Amino acid sequence: MENAGTGTQVAAARRRSPVAFLTGSSLAQSASYAVSAVLASTLLGPHQRGLMVLGVTTGSIAGLLTGLGTGSALRSRLPAVSGTPTGARLLASYTWWSIVSVAAGGGLAVLLSVLSAPLIDTGLSEPPFLLAVLVVTTGYVALTQFPDVWYAAGRFRAGSGWAALVAAGGLVGVLIGATLDRSAWALLLAQGTGMVAIAALQAARLHVVGLVPLAAPGRRELAELLRHGCRALGLTMGLALALRADRYVLGAVAGAATVGIYSVAATLSEGPRVVPAALGQIVNREVALGAGVARVVRTRRTALLAAAAASLLVGVGGWFLIIPIFGTEFADARPLLLVLLLAEIAFAPFAVASRGLLGGGWMTTAGLLGAAGSVVALILFAITIPLWGGYGAAIACVLTYAGLSVASWRLLRPRLVGNVAPGRRKATSPPIRV
């Protein structure tokens, strides 16, 4: 019994280590984004800041879409075939699709920006702004695709560390750009350039350790990545729309300046998401290796408590600091922040459960959940934003996130009951389950 207890303590300690590192790296990443947002908001004002936010939103959504969920598919399949010829072909296929995603994502982002201009602001279609969108999208493709390679290989420290460095590169870019030109397109271009520079170093490192091979892709493995990734795309894209579509609808209804004010509250409110997101990354791999209900339920409880505690701190700090830092024109961000923090608490269980669905290979279920969530979010945004502006967007976020959390756990829990234990998992490619 003593040996069993010691083994349990060792296993718990090993699990806490990557969680702590993921949390620390995520905090550093969030801090870089927050400082970038603070700097850009104070330099640009609501209107120009709103344009920059829309550019970032367009780039991040385009990067997710062109990845076609291949990162989720890789994380579900690679643990069982790592170190085998199948694993090597899987990584090569993922590498080449990531390269394709860079070109496709940039083109899509430019197209979306041009199409959005007549609805929101003509500045979205100006050539300098489109160039900035193209560059920042490349950074977001790397930020989407590269961490999943590290995580699929179980190297959480490296993955989270590099993600933090990419965000820091964006911050350095904004700092340099601010000395040259204080406009939305200039800061957006500078941010994207900084992200791309660090992403290039990360790509070189991934190649050195053998996780980004440039060998010919395997046709079968590439087809599997795309087929199973597309099933998960509903979740990743649905989540992106649920988290970001509020900016688009708000911009179309109330203009770029309102987006700028709303983005201050939204950026600060994302702080409590750090620990749940880190725990979700761990759960993704644990479920892929056969974790059951008890472990994942404990993780959900931890995520919820961490989100609530962090929300309290952010809410108090934000209420007293927003006006002194950003000015009185951003005063409406204070009550918006409080509502959005409630949304983050509601989001915490979903951050864990959605990763569990992906890790277990239940791609179709995850995809349908995300697609349904995006539809609900868009409907709520379309109803609430014309009525109450930014407050309507925040209320819609609370309802959407709470619904996603409830639905994701109802879908995940029964599947974990029959999940394959690590000792019985075959060393062959696991089936992608529905």
Q: List the Cα angle 42/245/167 in 5-degree steps.
A: 50
Distance CA 50, CA 184 (A): 8
Helices 70-81 + 127-152 axis angle, to 10: 20
In a 13 Å sphere around the CA of 353, the CA atoms on its Cβ side amount to 29
The pLDDT of residue 19: 65
For residues 260 and 332, the answer to whether their CB atoms sit within 8 Å is no
For residues 279 and 347, the answer to whether their CB atoms sit within 8 Å is no
For the record, the structure tokens of 117 come out as 């201009």
Regions of the chain with pLDDT less than 50: 1-2, 4-13, 420-434
Distance CA 226, CA 208 (A): 25
Which residue, 268, 132, 110, is CA-closest to 195? 132
Q: How many CB atoms lie within 10 A of CB 422?
A: 11
For the record, the structure tokens of 388 come out as 């109450």
**SS3 of 47, please?**
helix
Distance CA 286, CA 257 (A): 43
Cβ-Cβ contacts under 8 Å for 179 (sequence gap 6 or more): none
In a 13 Å sphere around the CA of 301, the CA atoms on its Cβ side amount to 6
The pLDDT of residue 278: 83
Q: How many CB atoms lie within 10 A of CB 364?
A: 18
The pLDDT of residue 424: 40
Task: Give CA 221 to chain center in angstroms.
Answer: 25
For the record, the structure tokens of 243 come out as 């988290």
